[in-house]
Amino acid sequence: MSGSREKREERGEVLLRGVSVSSGVAVGEVFIMGEEEPPVEDREIAPEEIPAEEERFRRALDRTRDEIRKIRTRYRSVIGEELVRIFDAQLMILQDETMLEGTFRRIREERRNASAAFQAILSEAIVNLSRIENEYLRDRVEDLKDVRRRVLHNLAGRGSRSIAHIQKGVIVVAEDLTPSQTVQLPRSKVKGMATLGGGRTSHTAIMARSLQIPAVVGVEGLLREVRNKERVIVDASEGIVVVRPGPERLKQALSRQRRYREISRERLRLRDLPSVTRDGVTIDLFANVDVPEEVPLAVEHRAKGIGLFRTEFLYLRDADMAREEVQTSIYRKILRRLSPGEVVLRTLDVGGDKVFDPLGGVLEQNPMLGWRGIRVSLELKDLFRSQIRALLRASKTGNLSILLPMISTLEEVREAKRIIAETGEELRIEGHDVTGPYRLGVMIETPAAVHLAPHLAKEADFFSIGTNDLIQYGLAVDRDNIKVAYLFDPFHPAISAMVRRVIDVGREAGIPVSICGEMAGEPLGAVLLVGLGARILSVHPYLIPDLKRIFCLLDTKEAKELADRVIDLPSAAEAREAVESYVHELELRSQETTRCEGG
């Protein structure tokens, strides 16, 4: 062990990459959280001990239910009504017939003590769920682990350990964090968090965003590289963790941390700023949302509406949620919550990096170029009709827009419109009131769609440019391939040229063009997009105040001149440098003006 430590120390700084699930930069000492499960003795019990073990298990379940209900009540005001429902899933696990019957059967028939019987049943369920490729279902492992830990502590008669002993200013590092551990992290003491496991849509990730804790999950090698009290940087904006940072990187991180804190303090005021540039041009800011639990974040950060609601969770999280009635109810609730604001609901966009096993998705050598997006919907027409029925039935509830993903031909749009029209007529014949107005949009995310934009504009009510995929397909770079990821650059002049063309086509056709994707949420990218003519951006909710601040310093005429230069530059590096230089100039101006004080 000492040898390996010396080896690590000789390596000095280590940079680890993971998945960013929030924003911000944190620098602090490592606090490693263990699994906190008590050791379990697996022993055979005598027949006369069976009633006592059963009763011990029942009491442990009761105590666990009480604990979870108390957490639910205590933190409702902290994380909101929507997120606190995460704990309902854990209460349901405690009522699961399979779990209860399995545990009692092992106590009675196999004569195992209650702790060993329960641990075995939950562990089997965790292993089975961990093997599922579906990311949404796999992320539910956290809930099972959370319940297992609590029940085992109560069976041991000592309750769950408190984490209140965490020292101030730490970076919490763990193999994984359960939802209840995350929600109980003392915000005043925890600067950031990093985990080996977890995904972007896990409950823990959602809570980290809600609590505005810089967090990176899925960091491979994390627990091999860090020790308690070592200094680390969690850069959630870049999705990296730096262990034992060198002096220069530490200096930069501390500077960025201070700046981010200043911006965070300003956010409460900034969110109420009008999204207007220095020369009086309005930039509409909408929110990107992955799951219904994030809708309150959009409202809280004053989003004008939802510019991109990804509906994949309906199909990947729980097969039952894909039923028409369930979808209709969910869509109505979202539309009602945002009304009169617009909600853009994108139809199913699976395939590519989103595995779609429930419908027999096939393995492909190049899935990003294969069966995904609208191609899936037009092949599985019953599935598509079901989603359209739900959307149309909900359309009267609010301001609905329907968005078609991964369009590359005109025929795809026309076929989708034909199915939508037929579905609407079916609903009317059945007596449903589907007269609510809605708009139909097309995602522009392939070079083919850019080229066809004038023709697509005649079929669509609006365009939405998905910058992530447009960069991927435009530059022929798989963004998940580490060998070529360095080529994935939103500042490539070719991307700017494609974005400008689509915006120009939209303006000439009289239809709005919104921009979603990570480029729109980054201040440098947002400034360039505004210079290219964008007036509608859709970003993660917590980025909205940051963009309002930069916009109030921005002059659109200057931004256009900048964009004109960028398109003619020969490389992405030079383009980025030009934008950075302009934004630096804006920051200098901010020190000379009080215009962006908010309020």
Residues with a catalytic annotation lie at 203, 516
The rounded distance, in Å, linking the Cα atoms of 311 and 303 is 19
The rounded distance, in Å, linking the Cα atoms of 491 and 469 is 14
End-to-end Cα separation, the chain, in angstroms: 56
Nearest 5°: the CA angle 171, 177, 181 is: 90
Residues whose CB is less than 8 angstroms from the CB of residue 49 and which lie 6 or more positions away in sequence, other chains included:
113
For β-strands 462-466 and 231-235, DSSP reports them as unpaired
* Among candidate residues 212, 180, 184, the one with its CA nearest the CA of residue 87: 180
DSSP 72-83: HHHTHHHHHHHH
H-run or E-run covering 550: helix 544-553
Sign of CA dihedral 486, 487, 488, 489: positive
DSSP 455-509: HHTTT-SEEEEEHHHHHHHHHT--TT-TTTGGG--TT-HHHHHHHHHHHHHHHHH
H-run or E-run covering 578: helix 572-590
22: amino acid identity, one letter = S
